[in-house]
Amino acid sequence: MKEKNDKITQFLLTRDGYSTPGDTPRFLFDRLTFNTRIYFMSHYVGLCLLTRSAAMKGHYNTDYWVSSSQDVFNLIEGCGGRFQINGLENIRNSKGPVVFISNHMSTLETMIFPGLIQPLKDVTFIVKDALVSHVIFGAVMRTRNPIVLSRSNPREDFRIVMEEGLKRISQGISVIVFPQHTRRTQFNPGEFNSIGVKLAAHAGVPVIPVAIKTDFWGNGRYTKYLGPIYRQKPIHIDFGKPITVTGPGKEEHQKVIEYIQSHLKQWKD
């Protein structure tokens, strides 16, 4: 898929948005599986095993991270997914590291964000410790120098985010934050904490709000990573303009919430 991945990187570097072309064909074997998730999941699991093997051998570098993320992007399109991405210029035009603050719906955004953001800005995630120790994803995630939280001690987690986040940002690395405690198909502002804005204020960098609608990829009953796919649901990803944080950041936090809410309402309507 190298040629397709080169095209993805090209539009990231030169265009403000991207829409999956209407004539993008579905993979033959995906069509032959009668609109089930069999083909999608089998290839997704295969990609995960390949990246795990590379990470275990010490071969999983940043270029590989971008490429494997874009492989998932191509797999989604080949299985009927249709992307609508806007605001790429807001990443390109922002100077220095930022804090990306996004709602969290599914596995899709965690797999796709590296392939969209990393070609434009060095980036890492704030993640739960369970992901770093995961039998499949742990080896890959550990290579990405993430900020790891336990989610069991809020005060300790806050300290870790402030200290480790500042370290990453001082090294020129942007940070992706999902302030919700878990994936939600419905956005609840009450569950959306202000840790991302507080980190940005502490580090003296702007935040870029990110609104997503990724319920194309549902959450599984037994494991959220292997849920159903809904080909009729378009995939929306919008990167907002950088917001400078002043003072305690309450107004900026509300702006991020309003950005996400307004886009979700627009996409629903």
pLDDT tens for residues 55-85?
999 999 999 999 999 999 999 999 999 999 9
Domain ranges of the chain: 2-268
Helix (H, G, I), strand (E, B) or coil at 181: coil
pLDDT of residue 1: 66
pLDDT in tens, 80-121: 999 999 999 999 999 999 999 999 999 999 999 999 999 999
**Bridging pattern class, strands 17-19 and 235-239:** unpaired
The pTM of the whole model exceeds 0.75: yes
Q: Which 3 state secondary structure label does DSSP give 217?
A: strand
